[in-house]
Amino acid sequence: MGWNNWNSFGCDVSENLLLSTSEQLVSLGLRDLGYQYVVLDDCWQQENGRDQNGKLQPEPSKFPNGLKSISGGLHDRGLKFGMYSSAGEMTCARYAGSLDHEIEDAESFASWGVDMLKYDSCYHMGRIGTPLISFNRFKTMSDALQATGRNILLNLCSWGEDFVHTWGMSIANSWRISGDIYDAFTRPDDLCGCDPNVLSDPYCIAPGTHCSVLFILNRVAAIADRSIPGGWNDLDMLEVGQGGMTDEEYKAHFALWAALKSPLFLGNDIRAMPAAAYSIVNNPAILALSQDPHGRSVTRVRRDTNANKDTDTIPLDEWGVGETHVWTGHLQNGDQAVIFLNAAGDDLNMSCSLAEIFTAFGPGGSAPHVRFDWAVHDLWAHRMDIDVAEAILAAGTAEERGALLRKENWYNATETPYADGLRDGDPRLFGEKVGVVEAGGVLRASVQRHAAKVFRLRRIAKDGQEFKGKSIDRGVKDEL
C-alpha cells in the first residue's frame, strides 16, 4: 500500500512533490492505515543519460538534494521509498533504462535507500515473446537487487505479457496484469488491448494505456487465484479522487482492488484530495479485506452479461452494459467476503445462493458451509461522514488532524495491525450487520448502476451467536 505519482502527475516529479505528499500521508492518518510506500515513477532522471561513470543520476533541478535525502525524509516519517526503472534500453518516457546495467543500477537504488522498485518493460530490445525470455530479462534485476543485501520489493510492470502471472512469483513481489488503467469505469477504448475474450491477441502484444476498471476485472478474473502471499497480481494504481468516475464507481473500484489483493497505490494528488475520495480510501473495513492474513484473492463465481440488453438507449460512455459479477473469497477467521458488482446501465436486484458462494469448498451445494446461517455485514456502513472528512482535510496542522482522527476513534493499523484487529473482532473492521441468510438460502441485495455491494458473511452458531475469530474449517468439523 502507498502512493505513486504517475496517474496524477506523469512526468511532473520533484523533491517537493514527494516530501509534501509524504507529510500529507502521515497527517491524514493514511500511513497508519497502511499506505507506506511513496513511489517515484518515470522521469526522475537527468536528460542526458548516465554520468561518465555509467551511473544513473537524478535531474538536479527536480531533486536538488539527490535521492538519498528523499529516502531519508521518507524514512524519518515512517514511510518507505519506491522508485522506477525499465528492463529496456530506455524507460517508457525515454530516459535511460536498466537493461544490461542491472548490477550497477541495483547498487545505486540500494545506496539511495530505496525499498521498492517498479520495473517497467518499455524498449526491451526485442527480448520478449516467450515466458522464458521475459523471465530471464526480469530475473537479472531480481538477482541484482538480492545481491545488494537490501530488502527491496520488486514490482514487475510488463502489463501481463508473456504470461507473467505464471512466473512472476518466483522472482518478484507483484506483477501488472494489464495495460495502464485510466479514469473510467466501463468505457472501452482501442488503446487498451489484450482483451481476454479476443483470441486474436493471446500473447497480449499491445497492452495499451486506456484500460477501464471493468476491463481490468475481466482480465484478472481467470488468474485471480495466482495471487499468493508475497506475490500478487497488480491491477494498477488507483484512480479514486481523479474526477472521472462517480462516487459509487470509485467505491466499487477500490473495494474490488482490495478484495483482489492488488497492491493499493493511491494515484491522486492527496494534497488536494476531495473529502469523498478520502472517505473511500480510509475505510478500514475495506482495507481489512486487502490485509486479511489468509492472503488469498476473491474469485469470480458468476458473470452475467445479459442483465440489461437495452444497448440502444445506453450512451457511449456506459458501454459494458448488462454486466454483473459476483466475487467471493474465504477470509482468515472463517468469514466470507462477497461482492455484488453491477456494471449495467440500470439499478438491479442481485442475488447469489450460499451454494454458489461456497463453491470453492464443494460444488453443487455440497460445501458444509451451506448448512449454516450467516450474518450479513455491509462493509461500507461505517464510511467516514463527509463533514468529518472535510474537517480533517481543512485542519491547519497535523496535530489538529490527529486530534480529529482520535476523536473519531479511527482505525490505526500501526498501533493495531489488521491481523490483531480481525482476531479480536474489532468492530471497526466488520462494518454493520444488515441481515441474515439462512442455511441453504440466497443472499439478495439491490445494487445501483455502476456500483458494488461489499459484504462480509459471518457464520452464526446454533445458539444464534456469530462466530468471532474462529476458523470455519475447524468450526464446521466440530459441529458435524
Which residues of this chain interact with ligand GAL, rule CB under 6 A?
6, 41-42, 91-93, 120, 122, 157, 180
Which residue, 6 or 185, has its beta carbon nearer to ligand GAL? 6
What does the block give as the cell for 26? 502521515
Question: Smallest Cα–Cα separation from 172: which of 94, 231, 101?
Answer: 231
Nearer to ligand GAL, 122 or 422 (CB): 122
Q: Could you tell me the smallest distance in angstroms from the CB atom of residue 112 to ligand GAL? A: 18
Choice between 9 and 361, CB closer to ligand GAL? 9
Helix, strand or coil, per DSSP, at residue 33: helix
Smallest gap from Cβ 93 to ligand GAL, in A, equals: 4
Q: Which of 36, 34, 27 is nearest to 411 (CA)?
A: 34
Is 180 one of the annotated active-site residues of the chain?
yes
Shortest spacing between CB 350 and ligand GAL, in angstroms:
33
110 contacts: CB under 8 Å, gap ≥ 6? 145, 148, 149, 150, 152
Least CB distance from residue 91 to ligand GAL, whole Å? 6
Decide whether 120 or 183 has the Cβ nearer to ligand GAL. Answer: 120
* Beta-bridge partners for 175: 156, 233
Min. distance of Cβ 402 from ligand GAL in angstroms? 33
Of all residues in the shown chain, the one whose CB is closest to ligand GAL is 92
User: Whose CA is closest to 457, among 447, 448, 445?
Assistant: 445
Look at the block and give the residue holding cell 494505456: 209
State how far the Cα of 95 lies from the Cα of 464, in Å rounded to an integer: 62
- Cross-strand pairs, 116: 82, 153
Query: Toward ligand GAL, which CB reaches closer, 235 or 422?
Result: 235
Q: What CA–CA distance (Å, rounded) separates 78 from 36?
A: 8
What are the two backbone dihedrals, phi and then psi, of residue 293, each rounded to the nearest 5 degrees? -65, -20
Sign (positive or negative) of CA dihedral 119, 122, 128, 130:
positive
Residues 6 or more apart whose CB falls under 8 angstroms from that of 232 comprise: 173, 174, 175, 261, 262, 263
CA dihedral (384, 341, 222, 8) in degrees, to 10, reads -50
Q: Is 115 helix (H, G, I), strand (E, B) or coil?
A: coil
Minimum Å distance from CB 271 to ligand GAL? Answer: 21
- Please identify which of the residues 32, 42, 180, 234 carries the catalytic annotation: 180
Residue 191 CA to its chain's centroid (Å): 22
CB atoms within 10 A of CB 83: 26
List the one residue out of 426, 416, 455, 436 whose CA is nearest residue 327: 455
Active site residue 312: no
CB of 110 to ligand GAL, least distance (A): 21
Considering beta carbons, is residue 220 or 352 the nearer one to ligand GAL?
220
CA 187 to chain CA centroid, nearest Å: 20
- Residue of 105, 120, 234, 269 with catalytic role: 120
The residues assigned a catalytic role are 120, 180
